[in-house]
Amino acid sequence: MIEITETDALSRLAAYCSTAEHCRAEVTEKLQRWGISYDAIDRIINRLEQEKYIDEERFCRAFIHDKYRFAKWGKIKIGQALQLKKIPQRVFFQYLNEIDEDEYLAVLNDLLAAKRKSVHAENEFELNNKLVRFALSRGFEMKDIRHCIMLSDENDDLE
């Protein structure tokens, strides 16, 4: 294994953090894999934070918007993923609540509409149950799922 100095690790991580948002936990994990001492890890992370390469709040905003817009995750799944990244709930909770509700419901509605086309069900009850299970697995809340299913059912009745 090649030994990496603290200066080399700092410059490598500055380049790494310049390409995309990363959190403390991701950077710490990478430094630990490189075999950097715990004292050096703290110094490197503090320096990266001072120079704004790492910012937990900026990371949360980017992560949340990426996950609900592109990965089509619900707030519950996003919150769980952020907790796994050791982001405190007090940091990310406010950003989860800032999600535009209309856009969020539109994402869920599109997700359910696409799933509705690919699911085989004997009747509407079975179809709705499958849609609910699917949306719950994506981290959406039951109140939002019910709202979108009811809107979809009303639209089907109008046709």
Query: Mean per-residue pLDDT for 54-75?
Result: 94
Q: What is the pLDDT, as a whole number, of residue 157?
A: 52
Q: What is the pLDDT, as a whole number, of residue 158?
A: 46
- For 108, counting Cβ atoms within 10 Å of its Cβ (0-12 exposed, 13-18 middle, 19+ buried), the class is buried
Q: What is the pLDDT, as a whole number, of residue 25?
A: 93
Residues 5-15: pLDDT tens digits? Answer: 899 999 999 99
Tokens in use for 21?
């948002």
Residues 89-141: pLDDT tens digits? Answer: 998 999 999 999 999 999 999 999 999 999 999 999 999 999 999 999 999 99
Measured over the CA atoms of residue 10, residue 12, residue 14 and residue 17, the dihedral's sign is: negative
| Distance between CA atoms of residues 149 and 36, nearest Å | 51
Mean per-residue pLDDT of the chain: 91
Q: What is the pLDDT, as a whole number, of residue 74?
A: 97
Q: What is the pLDDT, as a whole number, of residue 47?
A: 94
Q: What is the pLDDT, as a whole number, of residue 156?
A: 60
Query: Mean per-residue pLDDT for 58-62?
Result: 93
Count CA atoms closer than 13 A to 65's CA, side-chain side.
10
